[in-house]
Amino acid sequence: MIAWTRFRERPWSGPALALIAGLAAALAHPPFGVLPGLLGYAGLLHLLDNADVQRPLRSAFWRGWLAGVGYFGLGTWWVGEAFLVDAATHGWMAPFAVTGMAAGLALFWGLAALLYRALRPASAWRVLTFAGAFAALEWMRGHVLTGFPWNLPGETWKAGSAPSQLAALVGAYGLTWITLAIAGAPALWRQGRGGRAATGLAVASLIGLYGYGAIALSRPLSPSGPTTVRIVQADIKQDLKWDAERFAQIVQAYVSLTATPYAAKPADIVIWPEGALPAAVNDYLAPGTWVRQAIVDSLAPGQLLLIGGYRYEGAGPHPTYYNSLVALRRTDADLELVGIYDKHRLVPFGEYLPADRFLTVIGFKSLARLSDNFTTGPTPAPLRISPDLLVQPLICYESLFPGLAKPDPNVRALINVSNDAWFGVTSGPPQHLNLASYRAIESARPILRATPTGISAVVDARGRIVPGASLGLGESGVIDAQIPGMGQVTPYDNFGDVAFLALILISGVVSARVRIGKISSSIAPKRKLS
């Protein structure tokens, strides 16, 4: 106890504890899954309530920012792996990229902490102010500069678990508010009767979260149709893709796996991941090319092939580039184009560069391996790949965004192609799978996910990986499966973030009510004197 008291008296104890609180909250996310780490939010709430009395707003911002550095540092460290693909050229940038990203994203937490400290009431209801301030800034993080909603607090729960099912009602942002309110409440335990009541309500809410999820998971999905899919994962490492001498080997790896004999009838759909072949789709699918013929030979007549890759439009030195999903059908002796989906939500500093000229000069632009930025595709819309099959593509980064694609009750499945090979054997790919699986819960539609090096999977409409239908990191093979059934149209599909806005409004009312009460009490004595 004496040692703890001495530690608390140190001027650096608050910042150190804030950093630890952020790290703890990050550890609660998959693939770590240390759910007691959610108490890091309670620790952060306590630290903000006990900010430096001389400069409370500045102290709160600093502590919130440090907690964010811990949270995002652990949650996004895998970004540095992309710079090690060509370590000789870009390796020196890895530590700057990791620290820069963590520090930049942490600004949202710093602002949230400042907002909370400025608005917080003295009562135990301030936990709702805390939840509202941080959830609102997390929403902003998901929208500023096209957004980067990686590891929202509401997505701490493993997709497919009981608590995750609430996303079908309120979405990932609404679940973020609820998660923060529950996780922050233990900080109030010692604040008299009100604090104990708030903690008890949080425990009851947590029980309700699990109870609702258990009921949701017990509901049957609609019977799946006879449509079958083959997902191809060739396990081609990113640093090998751009070796021209290996191009033929890469093509052979994909067509060989595609042509692997089936236990039953051939799949209706074959899916190759984003960036499967390191060349423009226009070039390798041009009529008469050996690659086109190799693909034709690997497919059965009538099979659909979905390929993720980049394509260009226009001639000259500066054509327009798109990151696309191309749907093809094998005819008797060739391929016919069925449809194209162009990626709408591009990765800043990866697929487009806000400061293009400057970043080209310092060499950052070459990470994209293209001479020009990608062009934004139209607003995401479903792709009809057969007369009776409508799917919604989400390319890589797009699977992070709640409600990005306009809901369509006729969509049969979500198709998520991604190139997680950039991030090697790190926590990035399993986290990406978890986040993408939340889109299945929100829409009650299964996800068919293809990546070059893992994790590829078939995910059902409740966010659960179908048993036996996944390929882990570093595995090469195919997934043969029937497309899982759908659920009913969800409230989130119908109303989007309305529930989240209502929760933010509740936080605002709690804060405003207390502030109005303070103003009224300060005016009343003056009236008596007059």
φ, ψ at 309 (rounded to 5°): 180, 175
Question: Are the C-beta atoms of 84 and 94 separated by less than 8 Å?
Answer: yes
Assigned token pair, 339 = 């449809």
Distance CA 28, CA 38 (A): 6
For residue 133, the number of C-alpha atoms closer than 13 Å in the C-beta half-sphere is 29
| Nearest Cα to Cα of residue 112 among 140, 134, 90, 88 | 134
φ, ψ at 411 (rounded to 5°): -70, 130
Distance CA 67, CA 130 (A): 14
What's the DSSP call for residue 431?
H
φ, ψ at 273 (rounded to 5°): -75, 175
Residue 360: C-alpha distances to residues 74, 280, 356, 424 (Å):
29, 22, 6, 25
Relative to beta strand 383-386, strand 465-471 is unpaired
Q: Which SS3 state, helix, strand or coil, does residue 231 take?
A: strand
Question: Are the C-beta atoms of 258 and 232 separated by less than 8 Å?
Answer: yes
Assigned token pair, 351 = 């697929």
φ, ψ at 307 (rounded to 5°): -120, 130
Distance CA 159, CA 440 (A): 9
Q: Which SS3 state, helix, strand or coil, does residue 206 take?
A: helix
- Cβ–Cβ contacts within 10 Å for residue 458, how many? 24
Range list of H helices, 285-406: 290-298, 356-361
Work out the angle at residue 174's Cα, subtended by the Cα atoms of residues 63 and 458, and round it to the nearest 5 degrees.
Answer: 110
Question: Are the C-beta atoms of 391 and 380 separated by less than 8 Å?
Answer: no
To the nearest 10 degrees (0 to 180), the angle between helices 39-49 and 94-119 is: 60
What dihedral do alpha carbons 198, 202, 204, 208 form, nearest 10°?
A: 150
Task: Considering the candidates 81, 274, 351, 398, report the single residue annotated as catalytic.
Answer: 274
For residue 15, the number of C-alpha atoms closer than 13 Å in the C-beta half-sphere is 10
Exposure string over 50-70, b if 16+ CB within 10 A, otherwise e: bbeeeebeebbbbbbbbbbbb
Task: Considering the candidates 155, 343, 351, 398, report the single residue annotated as catalytic.
Answer: 343
336 is catalytic: no
343 is catalytic: yes
* Size (the chain), residues: 530
Assigned token pair, 514 = 């207390």
Relative to beta strand 411-417, strand 389-395 is parallel
Distance CA 465, CA 446 (A): 10
274 is catalytic: yes
Task: Considering the candidates 351, 396, 398, 442, report the single residue annotated as catalytic.
Answer: 396
Relative to beta strand 447-450, strand 411-417 is parallel
Task: Give the residue numbers annotated as catalytic, written as ranges.
Answer: 274, 343, 396
